[in-house]
Amino acid sequence: MNKHTPSAESLSDWVAPARTAVIVIDIQVDFASAEGVLGKAGVDMSITEPAVAAASQLVEDAREAGVPVIFVGLQTDAATDSPVWGEWRRRKNGVDEGGGICRSGTPGADFFGPKPEPGETVVPKLRYSGFFGTSLDAILRARQIDTLVVCGLTTECCVDCTVRDAFHLDYFVYVPTDACAAYDEQIHIGALNSLELNCATLVTTADLRSAWATQEESNQ
């Protein structure tokens, strides 16, 4: 994992503010807080805490460097629940546990940790990928962005699907390994290894901070 970390000088060009956006995926109460649906169901949210903290710092670093930050979050309701997903759960588990997570208008759908500031873009989604059925690609094209830094939850699911779709849409994709998490560390590592093999460059939040600082110095 993270075998070929680029130099700060190279990375500073590749993630320059004029061409890059930070995409924050699904860091929401139901996915990241002990008070959310998963936390109340017994999922140990302590495993996500370091990634949420790192993502918060990444967002602040991006803002300071002039890199736009886009928040993507799941927003569900009964009218948009997928009947196929319900049937898949029944076939897998023998029961449909229901789709009541990140329900629109409930506290569980609120962003947790890093939060949008006034004027920042928020993109709601209904499926795993931040691109599926959303305006995200059009927003990025309009801003002439060709490079994405994708962080959030969870590494093997919504981060993975968003990164792969971004690559298929011809974006350069960087994944800060410390600003993503899964509820199982081995699944997190496996997902990162797969992304690195196929479609993304793995970095850290410190790598990005150094790159943006290098870019700022070169512009002075």
Asked whether the predicted pLDDT for residue 219 surpasses 90, the reply is: no
pTM of the model: 0.94
> What is the CATH architecture of 8-219?
3-Layer(aba) Sandwich (3.40)
Instruction: Name the DSSP class of 177.
Output: G
Rounded distance between C-alpha atoms, residue 3 and residue 32, angstroms: 29
Q: Identify the active-site residue in 158, 161, 180, 199.
A: 158
Region 108-119: mean pLDDT is 97
Q: Identify the active-site residue in 26, 30, 165, 207.
A: 26
Look up 180 and say whether it is catalytic.
no
Rounded distance between C-alpha atoms, residue 148 and residue 151, angstroms: 10
Domain boundaries, given as residue ranges, for the chain: 8-219
Q: For the chain, how big is the Rg over CA atoms in Å?
A: 17
Look up 115 and say whether it is catalytic.
no
Look up 26 and say whether it is catalytic.
yes
The set of residues, in sequence order, having a beta carbon less than 8 Å from that of 29 and lying 6+ positions away, is 35, 36, 107, 108, 109, 110, 111, 112
Closest CA to 80 of 136, 125, 138, 128: 125
Region 195-214: mean pLDDT is 96
Q: Identify the active-site residue in 125, 160, 165, 180.
A: 125
Which pLDDT score is estimated for 99? 59
